[in-house]
Amino acid sequence: MPKKRTEFPHTTVVLAMSADGKIADIHRTAARFGSPVDRAHLETLIAQSDGVLFGAGTLRAYGTTLPVLQSDLLRSRQQQKKTDQPVQIVASRSAVLDPDYRFFRQPVPRWLITTHAGSQLWQGKPAFDKIFTLETAQGEIDWETFFQELRVLGIDRLLILGGGELVASLLAVNLIHELWLTICPLLLGGSAAPTPVAGAGFLANFAPRLELLTVQTIEQEVFLHYQLRA
């Protein structure tokens, strides 16, 4: 059940998947199988957010992030007195990331949420505008405290771009409110190919339950919008 307390940002996961439920192929290459309509859908959701959060695996696959480019979306952000680009937040325990990724040259604000060990790699370097080290006694990210800090910093709407490991971690601590899934017309297969939710999995009796809000079919793709049931 998602937490409703107002000190957390409102969180929305957005993912494209194959018709057999994979978000990438077995080599975990960048998932570029969505149509231009799906890309525009993603860009619109990014433009509506104050921050976007993604796992290091996603950054390693793409090496880049999708900025807001469409002029109408940029205008709408300006009218709402928002910065042109939402903050791009990378989640990584290790923080082992190639500084040559194009991501580090894109004109977007960059934050990192990591462990104490991870933060050592980037201290004193200009790559990230902010580095958060919020670690539990078990060496995991303290997501509740991090999300509270984000809210204090003005991140009211947070978009979560994947991948499956990050989504699983946030579901496990009930920090996800909504989910957009685009079903794309291809089959990727492969038992090792990533899916929208990785991690240890949930037993059926305790699985997070969804409520379907909308279904829209555009050409060959189906856009599913869910909210997590309270």
158 binds ligand NAP (CB under 6 A): no
* Contacting residue, 9, 51, 86, 194, with ligand NAP by CB under 6 A: 194
108 binds ligand NAP (CB under 6 A): no
> Measured from the CB of residue 75, what is the shortest distance to ligand NAP in angstroms?
26
| CB closer to ligand NAP, 48 vs 64 | 64
Q: Which residues contact 199 (CB under 8 A, 6 or more apart)?
A: 164, 165, 168, 169, 171, 172
Residues that contact ligand NAP, how many (by CB under 6 A): 29
| CB closer to ligand NAP, 176 vs 230 | 176
| CB closer to ligand NAP, 187 vs 230 | 187
Q: How many other C-beta atoms can be found within 10 angstroms of the C-beta atom of residue 63?
A: 14
| CB closer to ligand NAP, 50 vs 142 | 142
169 binds ligand NAP (CB under 6 A): yes
Per-residue b/e over 1-29, b at no fewer than 16 CB within 10 Å?
ebbeeeebbbbbbbbbbbeeebbbbeebe
Q: Which residues contact 168 (CB under 8 A, 6 or more apart)?
A: 197, 198, 199, 200, 201
What is the x/- site pattern for ligand NAP, positions 18-47, by CB under 6 A?
-----xx---x-xx----------------
What is the x/- site pattern for ligand NAP, positions 68-107, by CB under 6 A?
-----------------------xxxx-x-----------
Strands lying side by side in the sheet with 221-228: 130-133, 110-114, 87-91, 51-55, 157-160, 10-18, 178-184, 221-228, 210-218
